[in-house]
Amino acid sequence: MLATKHIISIEDLTPAEIELVLDTAESFKEVNERRIKKLPTLRGRTIVNLFLEPSTRTRTSFEIAAKRLSADAVNFSGDASATVKGESLADTAETLSAMVCDLVVVRHRYAGAPQILARHMDAHVINGGDGMHEHPTQALLDLFTMRERLGRLHGLRVGIVGDVCHSRVAGSLVRGLIAVGAHPVLIAPPTLLPARADALGVKAVTSLDDVLPELDVVYLLRVQMERAEGMPFPSLREYARLFGMNEARLARMRPDAIIMHPGPMNRGVEISAGVADSDRSLVLDQVNAGVAVRMAAMYLLLGGED
């Protein structure tokens, strides 16, 4: 089982524990392919999905994972939470703690929200994405998908393309890749790269074409269309021309290299429709892996207590 009580950052897990989560998820993925997908593992446990920021994939994935382990899953969205009435997050945490829930999955628009919950309640906490900080279970399912397709993690060269500076997905994935011995490369316009990529121990470049033939994985980050008017590059068309994955770039990749995206995709911007639907794209594999990986995280936090 895991030594940590919470999964707030990918750095809460040692490299050995990351491998344990992935190995456990592998067995749960087999269960998810059965006709009867339910296990009694967490029967009687209560898991709260506290999503105070809009989400479809992550929230649904956690809910399905909890139900397949026979836990009682309770969902709270931002508009249904007392936080819209002015209640502090600390008060929300203490209220949930008084209801004696066992695990809380939290997504919040502000970084640090999961730490506040963890300080004010006895339950386990999983970070479902906080601000521009981290999204650890996304990194775990990405690592699972890479390992499943390529057979290894150590030594892989993974190009993370796009708005690295503001991405919580990248915040966890970079750290996770380093932990398992892979080599992340940050690829973006200068305005979308962190100020000190070298402080993270990673290489940063401003040309996708220069490094594309060397990569085992091209990991595309979503261009946040809701903020496109304020994006620090000339236009979406310009971004697609320089950093979008299209059929011409696909032809220049290694024969066994793969393409990943955390979703939702902006077709025609960071990825063309043809590439998104090609057999080199593992976007749906990532979605599928999300349920198994989140089942593993819940099981390893809760299943070993008894």
Smallest Cα–Cα separation from 293: which of 61, 45, 10?
61
Active site residues: 57-58, 85, 107, 135
Alpha-carbon distances of 134 from 5, 110, 126, 234, 257, rounded to whole Å: 17, 11, 11, 28, 26
Alpha carbon distance 296, 23 (integer Å): 9
Say if residues 113 and 89 touch (Cβ distance below 8 Å): yes
First to last CA, the chain: 11
Say if residues 256 and 250 touch (Cβ distance below 8 Å): no
Smallest Cα–Cα separation from 159: which of 199, 200, 233, 209?
209
Alpha carbon distance 45, 30 (integer Å): 23
Helix (H, G, I), strand (E, B) or coil at 77: strand
Smallest Cα–Cα separation from 127: which of 58, 175, 173?
58
Alpha carbon distance 219, 202 (integer Å): 15
Paired with 193 in beta bridges are none
